[in-house]
Every structure is written in C-alpha cells, then in structure tokens.
Amino acid sequence: MSEFTTLGLAPSLIEALTRNGLTQPTPIQTRAIPLALAGRDVLGLAQTGTGKTLAFGLPLIDRLLAEPGKPAPKTVKALILAPTRELVNQIAENLKTLTNGSPVKVATVVGGQSINRQIGLLQKGNDILVATPGRLIDLMDRRAVDLSTVKHLVLDEADQMLDMGFIHALRRIAPKLGTPRQTMLFSATMPKQMEELSRAYLVNPERVQVTPPGKAADKVTQTVHYMDGKTAKGDKLREILSADMKALTLVFSRTKHGAEKLMKGLVADGYNAASIHGNKSQGQRDRAIKAFREGTINVLVATDVAARGIDIPGVSYVINFDLPEVPDAYVHRIGRTARAGREGEAMSFCTPEDVDLLVQIEKLMKIEIPTASGERPNAANRPSVRNQRGRSAGKSGGGRRGNGGNGSAQKQSKPQSAAPGANNGQAKRRRPRRRTAA
C-alpha cells in the first residue's frame, strides 16, 4: 500500500504514483504536501535530489483536478518559474508522468525555441505553465498569455533566480498574476536575499526545512585533489575516468570556453564525452542530456547550467574540474549524484589559487572536505584569489563567472559607463570573460 495515501492526495494521483513505482514519500514531501493541499503558502528547504518537484507538483495537480472547467484561451491556472531551460523541462517531464490521462494540461516555454510555436501553444490555454522568466516576459510583451487567472505560483530554485538577476523579471510578472493566490517557494539553499523574497511574495508561509541549508545529500562521498595547475587537472581527470570507463560522470567547468575545450580534448583522447553550456542551442543541450541519460555517452562536461535540472539517478561521479566561485553552486553541483537514495562520489580539483574558494565552500558546508591526493597549501604559501582573479572570491553578486547565469545581474548592478582610465580599460577587457559563464 502506498504511504502517499496518508497525505490526502486524490486516488487518481495515488494510482499514477504507483504506476511510476513511487510509494514512499520523502521527508520534504511528507511535510510540504499536506500544507500545500490546505492552501497554505510554503517555503520549502531541502537538499538536492530529495523530491522537491513532487513536493509542490503533487498538491498542485491535486487542487487543479478539483477545479472544474477548462482554461480559457491564453490563460493559465498555475505558473511554475525556474531559472534554466533544463530545470523547466525536467519539472514538466515529472509532472506529465502524473497527469497522463487526466484533463490537466502541462506546457513549457523557454528561450532557445520557436516563440511562434509557443504562442500557438498558449493560445489553447493551459492548466500548468512551467517557464523561464525571460521567455515568459517576451510572451507577455506580445500579449500571448493572460496571467490574471493564475491562482498558484511556484518559484523553484529561487536562490539561483536571484543570482541570475531574475528578481527584476519576477517584479514584472507578479503584478500580472491573479489574487488571492497560493505561492510556494522551494530551494536547497537559503541566502539572505531569499528571505526577503519570501517576505515580499508569500503570505504567512509555513517553513518546511528537512535539512540545514547548504548541506549535501548524506550518501555523497566528498573528496578534494590538490594539484599545481591545469595540466595536472587534465591528467588527474583522465586517470579517474580511465578507472571506471562505463560510469556516468558529470564534469563541471567554470566557463563555456573551458567546458568546450575540455570536452574536445577528452573526445580526441578516446573518451565518450559531450558538453552543455550557454553557447549550445537548446536542441544540442537536450540531445546531450538525453544521450547521457541513456548511456550513449558517459562523460558530460558542463558549466553551472547543469548544476540544477539534471535528474539522472545513475550519475556515479561529479567532478569539479574548476571550483565554483559561488559556494552555493557547489551544493547544487554535487547534488547531481546520490539521487533517489543512491550513493555517489563528488571530487574537486584545487590549485593554490583556488584554496580560498574551497575555504568558502567548506564554511558553507560546515565541514572540512577530506583530501584524496596532494597537499593543501598553507595560507602563507598560496596566492590570494584577489591577486589571481582581480577580485575577492568572498564577495557575492550576479557578476561572477560560474554562477549559472548570463551576466544579467552584473549588467543591472553596474553603471553602463565609467570615467576613463587604466583601471576602467582593464575592466572592459575583462567583461567578455565574465560573460562566458554557463
């Protein structure tokens, strides 16, 4: 007997869960679903891979099944916003497995795909719309969608939306939604800005936290390899990959250019690899993920565009070829393994100039990551991150590389022009490199 029956879900949903082999709710689902079914606003915090999508998706579908009538043309009953195309597609795929054969219609709109096709899709009206904020605003500007009927709003991975500057898009979208409405916000981390976001858009929310923010899944084994530079990183990566040639391995690079160069080098050396990053078309990214999921390729090199939204239980290893410059991104990266109760291993490569980034990650995680090889440099013997990168790794903001965004937050927070001078010229030369993130 399914334990989901104790949560108050409709019998048709219980049957759909059983068909998909789901009978045991996760802790976040057990706590969040009854609150959402009661119509409460929910602030959900749980580590990656613990079932947050169904924690909001199941009560959302349940309530829509109980609401009579088809949506009118261009209208939407429930809106789910997510920061990346991959995450939007992943959410929609999970929801569609539960709505097959029901009257609930799920649609997606993301950038990189035909906007005219999406306009036609929205013309029919939809029960649930899963969208990236940028493309949704494009469609709003074309009057292709009417959001005044939205009575359920979900913000998934809201902390990354803040990092990527989507707060400005949210401020444009929210006033167009129906009221009163139910709002649910879910994430694996809880930066201070997200608390402010919850106060602005949630009404008397119930906070559901099943693990401390910033904590990795319990079954992820974490280690760090210390080395001198890029050449040593490449050698160590090939050594690890060669030890288990059939394992699904996700390798993270800080930049788009770095990811592509690394992938091509691996392919040239005979490894079965592909890459996804912001310079790839949506079709290329979808095909690479599909091939990785099916095992056609077993090494996927990615920027932080893949740190969220890839739900592939079979990923055995996550390798941080480059450490992220935003500590929260580390949590989401290593959460791509040890999913659905399985075990996984996360390995990080650290050069002397990266040690300060590692310190920030360990501070967030509240652990010291065990050493697998090499020796950790002493503070007095390593170059500072400021000297190496021209900025401190301890600062926060959307202008960093490696945050999974497209630099939009930086453009909004920096003036468009500055007084001429040597330093300003240096900043102009740096800007294209910052835009190479994800």
For residue 61, pLDDT over 50 is answered with: yes
pLDDT tier for residue 264 given thresholds of 50, 70 and 90: very high
Mean pLDDT of 296-320: 84
For residues 285 and 79, the model is more confident at 79
- List beta partners, residue 243: none
pLDDT at 260 over 60: yes
pLDDT of residue 428: 39
Identical fold at 3-209 and 220-385? yes
- Taking only the tens place, the pLDDT of each residue in 204-244 is 999 998 865 555 555 789 999 999 888 899 999 999 999 99
Domain at 220-385, CATH from 3.40.50.720, 3.30.1280.10, 1.20.140.10, 3.40.50.300: 3.40.50.300
CA-angle at 401, arms to 397 and 405, nearest 5°: 75
Domain extent listing, the chain: 3-209, 220-385
Query: What's the pLDDT tens digit per position in 95-128?
Result: 999 999 899 999 999 988 899 999 999 999 999 9
Residue type (1 letter), 186: F
Distance, CA of 93 to CA of 29 (rounded, Å): 18
Rg (CA), the chain: 22
Res. 417 pLDDT band, cuts 50 70 90: very low
Residue 199 three-state SS: helix
What's the CATH architecture for 3-209? 3-Layer(aba) Sandwich (3.40)
DSSP assignment of 302-363 equals E-GGGSSS---TTEEEEEESS--SSHHHHHHHHTTSS-TT--EEEEEEE-GGGHHHHHHHHH
